[in-house]
Chain A
Amino acid sequence: MKAATHTEIYRPFRDALAPSRWAFWPLYRAQMAIATKRKLPLFILFFGPAMTGIVVSFLAYLQFQIEESGSGGPLISGGGLVAQFASQLLEVHKLIIAAMKTVRFFAVLAMAWYGAGLICDDRRAGAHLLYFSRPLTRFDYMLAHFATAFTFGCCAVLGPGLLICLVATFNSPDFIFLTEKWPVIVATIGYSLVFVTALSALILAVSALSKRKSYALAAVFGVFMSTLALGGAMSALMRERQWWMLSLASHFERVADWWLGASRSFHRWDPWWSVAVLGGLTLVSFAIVAWRVRRMEVVA
């Protein structure tokens, strides 16, 4: 073997590095890698959405079996509770609405857990100093963090919704669910994206305003649960359902009912109000994030 030393330090990079249009991608991947390293929180936080998706998909499967085989079919020949329950849920979109309402709290929990520390922990550790001394713009930085929260939100909300649609599609005769009921699929995706986008923006804004992840986590739940409690309390006190408009969760519910075609909605206000509230919340949240990220250089 030929002897050699490797003591040189400075070997300047001579090639040209093309500026990447996807500069946020490595940061996003790193955030995802960190988040998924610990399996227990992942299992706990996504157990609820996963079970909801599986159970409701099974109900959708049962429903098609009932329709296909009639009341004497093998699946319901035993009669009983399952058959009764399944036959009550006549349409898949109702199942999806039920699933969306069930998973939203799990989704808030998962998104807040993984999103609440994104910006405040960076600022506390000074990690942004490493990023902003590299070809990563402030926008890329925000995008990477947004994409992280968004991904977990999609896993919690869009995942179960798509699973139900998938089961319905493959169990409907001649894929009639896909060909005839495709607006339900579009509405499921649309609602999920609205929910996840608005919530991701809110969580990032809270993270950007907080000093620690624990504070941000508490604040996200504070916003979500306190508005729900306030809306409920005011509605009960004033005997007027419009007070539910104070609740963030109710606005999501109203949009879900509207888009997924619920025949009766608990909330009676014009759904455009909810769209406006959620849109405004998202815009304000993004503005806060942009402002705080810009201020990172002040507190750097």
Chain B
Amino acid sequence: MSGALLSADQLGRWYGQVVGLSDLTLSLERGVTGLVGPNGAGKSTFLKLVAGEIRPSRGTLEVLGLKPFANAELFRRAGFCPQQEALYEDMTGLEVVRFLMRLHGFSAAEATRRANEALDRVGLGDARKRRVGGYSKGMRQRAKIAQAIAHGPELVVADEPFNGLDPVGRAEMTALFAQAGREGMSVLVSTHVLHEVEALTHEIVLFHRGRLLAQGPVGQVRQLLSRHPRRVELRAREPRRLARALVELDFVLSVRVGPADGRIDVETFELERFFEALTRIAAETRAGVTSLESHDASLEAVFDYLVA
């Protein structure tokens, strides 16, 4: 499925004097997109705007071609997993999801069937008849995800869905969202656990202090950060010989030889040219390069560069 998932134009949302989101203009394609940013960055505000929970203070927003606020048609095509607890403690997991499906307009039998299916998918099949009050934090998160996917939406908006999940649970939910994305469901996930976003998708939207800081594939975003040189970590049997040759390159900013392990840290603004040159120099100097890594293309590094 192709086409714009959502488009925002000068979108803003204030809570009285507090700016939740300011002057956001972006367009997202269908697929899995990760929303990252520190606390108070505006992720939850943006997701609530997308889910139609709150209305924009200014600007326009269209999700699946529809204005989201209080739009029943969109609500049938989208599922929302909020960050808050949100579930009634005295109901069982099955009752919660079933009653929320009834709010969508499904018949009792269909609502029950969908609730059961969704709870199975999130791994709550055995606990479906237990009270939500007796659920662990992770189980509650799973129940919230179940209610968001049970009606078969085109878009799932999940606000910090990995909070409270143990590592196994996180991996399972990451896999679930990734698979949903592969099967054609669009997923918009916010999290501050960066490596989970990386495991899920390379498409990110980065917020900071209510503003859009970056958008796109992580690698491409990193390339745009030209004021930060790329860092490359090398290991060689003859590190000093290799370092002498590397420092001669005009696009290499710095070379630092480590005290042990034959480690060399290189900073350069032109990573591709550096790799081309390195192949040649390694062969000429016979320095014996044993490893080559570039850590700062990771989402975490990009995040640090952008937010710091």
Interface of A toward B, CB cutoff 8 Å: 6-13, 17-20, 23, 26-27, 29-30, 33-34, 37-38, 125-127, 129-138, 297-298, 300
- B55 close to chain A: CB less than 8 A: yes
Instruction: Evaluate contact between B90 and A132: CB separation under 8 angstroms.
Output: no
CA distance A145 to B291 in the complex (A): 65
Q: Of A10, A125, A133, A300, which one neighbours B75 at CB under 8 angstroms?
A: A133
Closest CB in chain A relative to B12 CB, distance in Å: 14
- B160 close to chain A: CB less than 8 A: no
Instruction: Evaluate contact between B70 and A137: CB separation under 8 angstroms.
Output: yes
Give the nearest-CB partner of B102 in chain A: A26
Instruction: Evaluate contact between A297 and B185: CB separation under 8 angstroms.
Output: no
Give the nearest-CB partner of B44 in chain A: A300
Give the nearest-CB partner of B121 in chain A: A9
Instruction: Evaluate contact between B151 and A13: CB separation under 8 angstroms.
Output: yes
CA distance A18 to B185 in the complex (A): 23
Give the nearest-CB partner of A123 in chain B: B84
- B86 close to chain A: CB less than 8 A: yes
CA distance A137 to B75 in the complex (A): 11
Instruction: Evaluate contact between A9 and B183: CB separation under 8 angstroms.
Output: yes
Within 8 A of A (CB), among B78-101: 78-80, 82-88, 90-91, 95, 99-100
- 11 chain-A/chain-B pairs, Cβ below 8 angstroms: A9-B149, A9-B185, A10-B180, A17-B76, A30-B91, A129-B86, A133-B80, A134-B103, A297-B48, A298-B15, A298-B16
Most A CB within 10 A of own CB, among B88, B103, B185: B103
Beyond A132-B52, A135-B75, list 10 extra A-B contacts (CB 8 Å): A12-B184, A17-B76, A19-B72, A26-B99, A27-B103, A30-B95, A129-B48, A130-B147, A138-B70, A300-B53
CA distance A136 to B105 in the complex (A): 10
Q: Which residues of A contact B149 (CB under 8 A)?
A: 9-10
Closest CB in chain B relative to A12 CB, distance in Å: 5
Within 8 A of A (CB), among B39-88: 48, 51-55, 70, 72, 75-76, 78-80, 82-88
Given contacts A33-B95, A34-B88, A133-B52, A26 and B103 within 8 Å (CB-CB) = yes
Q: Which residues of A contact B51 (CB under 8 A)?
A: 133
Closest CB in chain A relative to B180 CB, distance in Å: 5
Q: Which residues of B contact A129 (CB under 8 A)?
A: 48, 53, 80, 82, 84, 86
Q: Which residues of B contact A33 (CB under 8 A)?
A: 91, 95
- B203 close to chain A: CB less than 8 A: no
Q: Which residues of B contact A19 (CB under 8 A)?
A: 72, 105
Give the nearest-CB partner of B70 in chain A: A137
Instruction: Evaluate contact between A126 and B99: CB separation under 8 angstroms.
Output: no
Q: Which residues of A contact B75 (CB under 8 A)?
A: 133-135
CA distance A211 to B149 in the complex (A): 31
Instruction: Evaluate contact between A135 and B53: CB separation under 8 angstroms.
Output: no
CA distance A62 to B87 in the complex (A): 51
Q: Of A6, A10, A127, A297, which one neighbours B152 at CB under 8 angstroms?
A: A10
CA distance A18 to B73 in the complex (A): 10
Instruction: Evaluate contact between B103 and A23: CB separation under 8 angstroms.
Output: yes
Q: Of B54, B120, B183, which one neighbours A10 at CB under 8 angstroms?
A: B183
4 tightest Cβ-Cβ pairs between the two chains A and B: A126-B84, A26-B102, A133-B80, A135-B72
Q: Of A13, A27, A130, A137, which one neighbours B80 at CB under 8 angstroms?
A: A130
CA distance A136 to B78 in the complex (A): 14
Q: Which residues of B contact A18 (CB under 8 A)?
A: 105
- B179 close to chain A: CB less than 8 A: yes
CA distance A135 to B73 in the complex (A): 8
Q: Which residues of B contact A17 (CB under 8 A)?
A: 76, 104-106
Instruction: Evaluate contact between B100 and A130: CB separation under 8 angstroms.
Output: yes
Instruction: Evaluate contact between A127 and B87: CB separation under 8 angstroms.
Output: yes
Given contacts A17-B104, A26-B103, A130 and B82 within 8 Å (CB-CB) = yes
Q: Which residues of A contact B90 (CB under 8 A)?
A: 34, 37-38
CA distance A263 to B283 in the complex (A): 114
Instruction: Evaluate contact between B82 and A20: CB separation under 8 angstroms.
Output: no
CA distance A130 to B103 in the complex (A): 10
CA distance A26 to B108 in the complex (A): 10
CA distance A27 to B105 in the complex (A): 12
Closest CB in chain A relative to B142 CB, distance in Å: 13
Instruction: Evaluate contact between A10 and B99: CB separation under 8 angstroms.
Output: no
Q: Of B82, B86, B102, B183, which one neighbours A8 at CB under 8 angstroms?
A: B183
CA distance A125 to B48 in the complex (A): 16
Instruction: Evaluate contact between A29 and B54: CB separation under 8 angstroms.
Output: no
Q: Of B16, B100, B121, B180, which one neighbours A134 at CB under 8 angstroms?
A: B100
Q: Which residues of A contact B180 (CB under 8 A)?
A: 9-10
Q: Which residues of B contact A136 (CB under 8 A)?
A: 103
Give the nearest-CB partner of A127 in chain B: B86
Q: Which residues of B contact A134 (CB under 8 A)?
A: 75, 100, 103-104
Instruction: Evaluate contact between B105 and A135: CB separation under 8 angstroms.
Output: yes
- B176 close to chain A: CB less than 8 A: yes
Closest CB in chain B relative to A140 CB, distance in Å: 9
Q: Which residues of A contact B91 (CB under 8 A)?
A: 30, 33-34
Instruction: Evaluate contact between B184 and A10: CB separation under 8 angstroms.
Output: yes
Within 8 A of A (CB), among B1-56: 15-16, 48, 51-55
Give the nearest-CB partner of B108 in chain A: A26
CA distance A260 to B151 in the complex (A): 52
Closest CB in chain A relative to B181 CB, distance in Å: 9
Closest CB in chain A relative to B53 CB, distance in Å: 5
Closest CB in chain B relative to A121 CB, distance in Å: 9
Q: Which residues of B contact A10 (CB under 8 A)?
A: 149, 152, 180, 183-185
CA distance A125 to B87 in the complex (A): 7
Given contacts A10-B185, A19-B105, A300 and B100 within 8 Å (CB-CB) = no
